[in-house]
Structure 1
Amino acid sequence: MAKTSPPKKPVRAESEEETKAALRKVLLRKRADLLQEIKTEISKYIKGETRQLVDTALDDGDWSVVDLTEDISLRHLSAHRETLLKIDESLRKLNEGTYGLCEDCGDVINEERLKILPFAIYCIDCQESREKLEEMVKREGIG
């Protein structure tokens, strides 16, 4: 007589509250990291690191480096600001109970996607559609 193995216990799925708490923690950690990076960038300006480049610029090539350095720093700050706004919006949605819903179709955004990109506002299908549309607009020169 063949032995049967005992039935496997189902893996306990995280409760909705546990999932929300974990996502909130990820969002808050990402927010804190971004704020630290922003403070570091701003402190560079306060300490005069960019000014030191300006003081040593001798020719057009040096000035190009100064311009490029400032442009990169400003782009980083702008990108960080946009990400902070997305994180704050996600935290607001978590508190309201609307977090994780696609802003285009209203479907639930896949939990794995939210773990990777916790401030995602579109499901994979809608995000891909938006990216294809953006690419078409760029290619066709529309807009």
Structure 2
Amino acid sequence: MSLRFNYRAANEQAFRAMMAMEQHAGGRIQDKVLYELVKIRVSQINGCAFCLDMHAKDLMKLGDYADHILLLSVWHEVPLFTEKEKVLLEFAEAVTLISQGGVPVALYDKVMEHFSQEEYVDWILAINTINNWNRIAISTGMYPGCFN
């Protein structure tokens, strides 16, 4: 794999806009572990190696979450994840794969058991932000270590 080009250098305004979204989303989400789990799960779905690598490392800086990282792709099959984590991971999958079924009412109701309307919007923004990062990374050929 080779980096097609450095999008940051090619379009600094786009990079700044993405960073503003990231800073806003990251500043709104209080649970940083859950935030990183969502970023990893969305990156798994989208097949973004660059973001998977980055966010797995970021999660490990928050504590010993190796089992969470290893089992995240099968989160619904293991008791490791809390009910709140499972609901949000399901929501992240639905928003990422929005064209396949939207966000069903039953899922919306489950999300609202754990989060306020304001937090619901915060999570939509956070999920969309990592989806945007994934699409930039994949489209420009980014891979782990490509900027080293």
Question: So what's the TM-score if we normalise by structure 1?
Answer: 0.28
Say which one has the larger Rg.
Answer: 1
Pick 1 or 2: higher relative contact order, CA cutoff 8 A, min separation 6. Answer: 2
Question: So what's the TM-score if we normalise by structure 2?
Answer: 0.28
